Amino acid sequence: MLAGFQNATKIAELRKRILFTLMMLAVYRVGVAIPTPGIDGQALAVFFEQASSTVFGLVNLFSGGALERFSIFALGIMPYISASIIIQLLTVVIPTLERLSKEGEVGRRKITEYTRYGTVGLALLQGLFISIGLEQIRTPSGGSVIFDPGWSFRIMTVITLTSGTAFIMWLGEQITERGIGNGISLIIFAGIVASIPSAITSTIEFVREGELGVMVVALIVVMMVAVVAAVIIMERGHRRIPVQYAKRMVGRRMYGGQTSHLPLKLNTAGVIPPIFASSILVFPTTMAGFSDSSWAKFIGDLLAPGSWLYNLSYVTLIIFFCYFYTAVVFNPTDVADNMKKNGGFIPGIRPGQRTAEYLDRILSRLTLSGALYISAVCILPTLLIGFFNVPFFFGGTALLIVVGVALDTAAQIETQVLMRNYEGFMKRGRIRGRTDRR
């Protein structure tokens, strides 16, 4: 397998795709460092350091630190993700979108167009609210983080942030078409991975200052390796449902009769449930930060990250969204109908409604296992922070995204290598045919 990946650099087209992907990611990281004009960057960094547990911290994570610096890519790809999820949910509700989703490539392009419009609309709205909110922020000395507040600053900020989000969306689409892997996922991946060096540096500083012992760090490293291995196993895990296709005559030829399988992933919902759960839970804390009400502050403290109520609510919401999103992306009735139309059936199960009920029962059990696994990974940093009483930079949604994107990209590279060069995955350099056995 490793020899096959080494051959990736020997294939001209694949080498160009990998280089193009790296160049686009480099452009993205350069844009993260370009600040939006009219803002006091140092004063804003102090504010975001104190607001890491609010919705700003969540957006800052997915933007790769762009929001903390308030660069031209401050909104990151979050408007696109939100628009994609909204369109996907509306596909189940609106019959027109449902028909488009079943029309193949033409329908997919139309839905992509709607997603782009939704992304721009959300970016405009978020940019306006952020620009207004920035004018309300005060530095510890009582000054404003905006040099020249007013509508001129708001309009300039909205245009800058919306253009940055549109450019990131274009970068992601270019990577998907001309590079390797899913462009949007790789952009999020690059933003998260970019924070690893600073996390390692902070850990080293904790060791030097005596806040972390060497044995504790070694234990954490071992735990990290074990968690990554567990995530890889769970993300690759799936249940194979055997499917038998009946024989049928088409003209003078006999078709069918083969046995296949229907793979049901253990984690069908992916990273959407923890993203939704985090967004909902950090909202009260964010609103409490802008309010002087005692009740608002009480609710904010009650739902602060690390509290027992936060962890319980987080796990409950993750389980709920796992079932909800799985029901959106996988319809057992449609799968059973398509299987029946193609002459397929599950051995021992009647085609049609009985097959749909069987698939739904299997999927419900798999979803529960996947939801518990996601919940365990997501609350791992909180538990370790409470146990070791030090900041912990590993685990949670970021880990699921990094491992998932890495696995998908590696699988695509492997597929490209297999299509062009089989020898890289063979122990011997040549496949023997029938004529070679004489």
Give percent of the chain above pLDDT 90.
7
Q: Which of 35-44, 86-95, 327-336 has the lowest mean pLDDT?
A: 35-44
Q: List beta partners, residue 437.
A: none
Would the pLDDT of 167 be above 90?
yes
Whole-prediction pTM? 0.75
Q: Which of 254-263, 287-296, 429-438 has the lowest mean pLDDT?
A: 429-438
**Separation of alpha carbons 76 and 61, rounded Å:** 9
What is the pLDDT, as a whole number, of residue 429? Answer: 47
What is the pLDDT, as a whole number, of residue 3? Answer: 53
Would the pLDDT of 394 be above 70?
no
261 and 384 housed in the same domain? yes
Nearest to 379 by CA among 278, 302, 287, 265: 278
Cα–Cα distances in angstroms (integers) from residue 257 to residues 75, 343, 347, 352, in the given order: 53, 9, 13, 19
CB atoms within 10 A of CB 43: 17
- In three-state secondary structure terms, 75 is coil
User: CB neighbours of 181 closer than 8 A, spacing ≥ 6?
Assistant: 21, 175, 405, 408, 409, 412
Nearest to 58 by CA among 401, 321, 308: 401
262 and 189 housed in the same domain? no
Domain assignment of residue 171, given as a range: 1-195
Confidence band, pLDDT 50/70/90 cuts, at residue 10: confident
Mean pLDDT of all residues in 283-302: 65
Q: To which residue do tokens 């409950």 refer?
A: 316
Confidence band, pLDDT 50/70/90 cuts, at residue 362: very high
* 419 within domain boundaries: no
- Kindly provide the b/e burial profile for residues 340-372, where b requires at least 16 CB atoms within 10 angstroms of the residue's own CB: beeebbbeebebeeebbebbbebbeebbeebbe
* 408 within domain boundaries: no
Output 221-229 pairs: Cβ under 8 A, ≥24 positions apart.
Answer: 223/384, 224/394, 227/377, 227/380, 227/394, 227/395, 227/399, 228/399, 228/403
Enumerate the H helices of 342-395 as residue ranges.
353-388
**Number of independent structural domains in the chain:** 2
Mean pLDDT of all residues in 352-364: 90
- Domain containing residue 373: CATH number: 1.10.3370.10
Which of 195, 222, 253 represents a domain boundary (last residue)? Answer: 195
Which of 368, 392, 416 represents a domain boundary (last residue)? Answer: 392
Which of 375, 392, 409 represents a domain boundary (last residue)? Answer: 392
**Separation of alpha carbons 113 and 118, rounded Å:** 9
162 and 284 housed in the same domain? no
* 201 within domain boundaries: no
